[in-house]
Amino acid sequence: MSDNTPRVTLVTGGSGGIGRAVAERLAHDGHAVGVHYAGNKARADETVAAITSAGGRALAVGGDVADEHEMSAVFDAVEKEFGGIDVVVNTAGVMKLSPIATLDLDDLDRIHRTNIRGTFVVSQQAARRVRRGGAIINFATSVRRLALPTYGAYAASKAAVEAMTPILARELRGKDITVNAVAPGPTPTPLFLEGKDQATIDNLAKAPPMERLGTPQDSAEVVAFLAGPARWINGQVLFANGGLA
């Protein structure tokens, strides 16, 4: 792919939180963006409208990340609209906080279906379709290092994402496709804020040396680096957490 050719990116979970910030940042960098959503088309349409009103190109595409047939159709739609795919960013994820001893196992299955199987399904499609010179960017979590109580199921699911990432990078040897993961620290998205009181949020904000929570834009900045100039970073997990861990 020529350096002058506009890139095409698919962002799973692109309708809100970190996913929306990633979609908007990459569109600002000149990418055409497939904004994936699971159930909230209206939010995806808002993201698309924000991108197009700023002069970018975007398309809302819906599907269950853990369903290989639905995600194959999502990739088809983005390729048909924009001519191919160069970057895939896996931000879609779910979280349920509970001590391991009391976690409802149905919640465990739901977390792992989206975070592990979903990442695997999307990565599988990406490995088959991303063009030379492209990038696959997964999302892990800094909680895996912090070992915070009640995060057992979520951290376990993201540890699986960490494990998959360097393996896929090695499996794509010779294709000029990088595979990395971003591991954000505490970031005040709806996923993070649910179930937390203000004291907990304040304590987490004070924990990093930077003495603040992360923002979706902080994570988007790292994604933009991995999706563009960072061609010599491959098979890595980048912890974007202000020095928290």
20: tokens are 């929306």
Which one is catalytic: 37, 120, 154, 239? Answer: 154
**Ramachandran sector of residue 17 (left: φ over 0; alpha: ψ -120 to 50; beta: rest):** left
**Bridge partner residues of 58 (DSSP):** 33
Q: Which helix (H) or strand (E) holds 164?
A: helix 152-171
**Bridge partner residues of 35 (DSSP):** 11, 60
Question: Count of H helices and E strands in the chain?
Answer: 10, 7
37 is catalytic: no
Q: How far is CA 48 from CA 20, 129, 136, 142, 199, in A?
A: 9, 23, 21, 29, 35
Task: Tell me, rounded to whole angstroms, the distance of Cα 61 from its chain centroid.
Answer: 15
Tell me the pairing of strands 57-62 and 87-90. unpaired
Give catalytic residue positions: 154
